Amino acid sequence: MQEEWQKSKQAARVDFRTVYTSTWRQVIVPKEWPADLRPVLQEFLASPERWTSEEARRGFGGMVVYGSPRFYVVVDGELAFTDVGLNGWTYGVAPKLKRLVGA
Protein backbone atom coordinates (compact mmCIF):
# COMPACT_ATOMS: atom_id res chain seq x y z
CA MET A 1 0.00 0.00 0.00
CA GLN A 2 2.69 2.51 1.00
CA GLU A 3 4.90 1.86 -2.01
CA GLU A 4 1.95 2.18 -4.39
CA TRP A 5 0.75 5.40 -2.75
CA GLN A 6 4.26 6.89 -2.74
CA LYS A 7 4.25 6.65 -6.55
CA SER A 8 1.04 8.67 -6.79
CA LYS A 9 0.55 12.32 -7.72
CA GLN A 10 -0.97 12.89 -4.30
CA ALA A 11 2.17 11.63 -2.56
CA ALA A 12 4.25 14.12 -4.52
CA ARG A 13 2.31 16.89 -2.70
CA VAL A 14 2.85 15.42 0.77
CA ASP A 15 5.94 15.43 2.98
CA PHE A 16 5.75 11.77 4.01
CA ARG A 17 8.20 10.63 6.67
CA THR A 18 8.58 7.45 8.65
CA VAL A 19 9.72 7.20 12.26
CA TYR A 20 11.54 3.95 12.99
CA THR A 21 12.45 2.84 16.49
CA SER A 22 14.37 -0.18 17.71
CA THR A 23 11.43 -1.48 19.77
CA TRP A 24 7.69 -0.95 19.61
CA ARG A 25 7.69 0.69 23.05
CA GLN A 26 10.04 3.43 21.89
CA VAL A 27 7.53 4.77 19.38
CA ILE A 28 6.25 7.15 22.09
CA VAL A 29 9.70 8.35 23.21
CA PRO A 30 10.21 11.92 21.97
CA LYS A 31 13.99 11.61 21.50
CA GLU A 32 13.30 8.88 18.91
CA TRP A 33 11.41 11.39 16.76
CA PRO A 34 12.76 14.14 14.51
CA ALA A 35 12.87 17.36 16.51
CA ASP A 36 10.32 19.15 14.33
CA LEU A 37 7.77 16.34 14.84
CA ARG A 38 8.11 16.01 18.62
CA PRO A 39 5.35 18.58 19.30
CA VAL A 40 3.00 16.44 17.18
CA LEU A 41 3.84 13.37 19.27
CA GLN A 42 3.34 15.34 22.49
CA GLU A 43 -0.06 16.57 21.34
CA PHE A 44 -1.11 13.03 20.50
CA LEU A 45 0.18 11.63 23.79
CA ALA A 46 -1.64 14.31 25.79
CA SER A 47 -4.96 12.86 24.62
CA PRO A 48 -4.51 9.67 22.54
CA GLU A 49 -8.17 8.67 22.75
CA ARG A 50 -9.21 12.00 21.25
CA TRP A 51 -6.99 11.35 18.25
CA THR A 52 -7.79 7.68 17.72
CA SER A 53 -10.83 6.19 16.00
CA GLU A 54 -13.32 4.20 18.03
CA GLU A 55 -12.44 1.08 16.04
CA ALA A 56 -8.76 1.40 16.92
CA ARG A 57 -9.52 2.13 20.57
CA ARG A 58 -11.55 -1.09 20.72
CA GLY A 59 -8.81 -3.05 18.98
CA PHE A 60 -5.86 -1.73 20.95
CA GLY A 61 -7.50 -0.85 24.25
CA GLY A 62 -5.05 0.64 26.73
CA MET A 63 -2.21 0.06 24.29
CA VAL A 64 -3.58 2.49 21.69
CA VAL A 65 -0.46 4.69 21.89
CA TYR A 66 1.59 1.76 20.59
CA GLY A 67 -0.72 0.93 17.67
CA SER A 68 1.15 0.45 14.44
CA PRO A 69 1.37 1.62 11.82
CA ARG A 70 0.13 4.98 13.05
CA PHE A 71 -0.32 7.77 10.56
CA TYR A 72 -0.23 11.45 11.49
CA VAL A 73 -1.55 14.22 9.28
CA VAL A 74 0.17 17.48 10.14
CA VAL A 75 -0.89 20.80 8.65
CA ASP A 76 1.27 23.87 9.21
CA GLY A 77 3.07 22.11 12.06
CA GLU A 78 -0.13 21.19 13.89
CA LEU A 79 -1.64 17.75 14.32
CA ALA A 80 -4.77 17.65 12.18
CA PHE A 81 -5.60 13.94 12.22
CA THR A 82 -4.17 10.59 13.18
CA ASP A 83 -5.25 7.00 13.04
CA VAL A 84 -3.76 3.57 13.24
CA GLY A 85 -3.63 0.46 11.09
CA LEU A 86 -4.54 -0.19 7.50
CA ASN A 87 -8.19 0.60 8.18
CA GLY A 88 -7.07 3.87 9.74
CA TRP A 89 -5.24 4.70 6.53
CA THR A 90 -8.03 3.57 4.22
CA TYR A 91 -11.00 5.08 6.03
CA GLY A 92 -9.37 7.96 7.86
CA VAL A 93 -6.08 9.23 6.51
CA ALA A 94 -6.67 8.68 2.79
CA PRO A 95 -9.95 10.66 2.73
CA LYS A 96 -8.38 13.41 4.86
CA LEU A 97 -5.42 13.71 2.46
CA LYS A 98 -7.80 13.79 -0.51
CA ARG A 99 -9.64 16.75 1.07
CA LEU A 100 -6.38 18.52 1.90
CA VAL A 101 -4.26 18.00 -1.23
CA GLY A 102 -6.54 16.39 -3.81
CA ALA A 103 -6.40 12.96 -5.40
In this prediction, residue 46 has a pLDDT band, given cuts at 50, 70 and 90, of very high
Does residue 81 lie in a domain region? yes
The pLDDT tens digits for 12-31 are 999 999 999 989 899 999 99
> What's the mean pLDDT in 67-82?
91
In total, how many domains does the chain have? 1
Does residue 7 lie in a domain region? no
Range of the domain at 53: 18-101
Does the pTM surpass 0.85? The reply is yes
Given a cut of 90, whether residue 62 has pLDDT beyond it is no
Does residue 24 lie in a domain region? yes
What mean pLDDT value characterizes the chain?
A: 90
Does residue 10 lie in a domain region? no
Does residue 55 lie in a domain region? yes
| Residue 54 to residues 7, 83, 87, 92, Cα–Cα distance (Å) | 30, 10, 12, 12
Cis peptide before 69 (omega within 30 of 0): yes
Residues 6+ apart with CB under 8 A from 93: 71, 73, 81, 83
Q: What confidence score (pLDDT) does residue 3 get?
A: 81
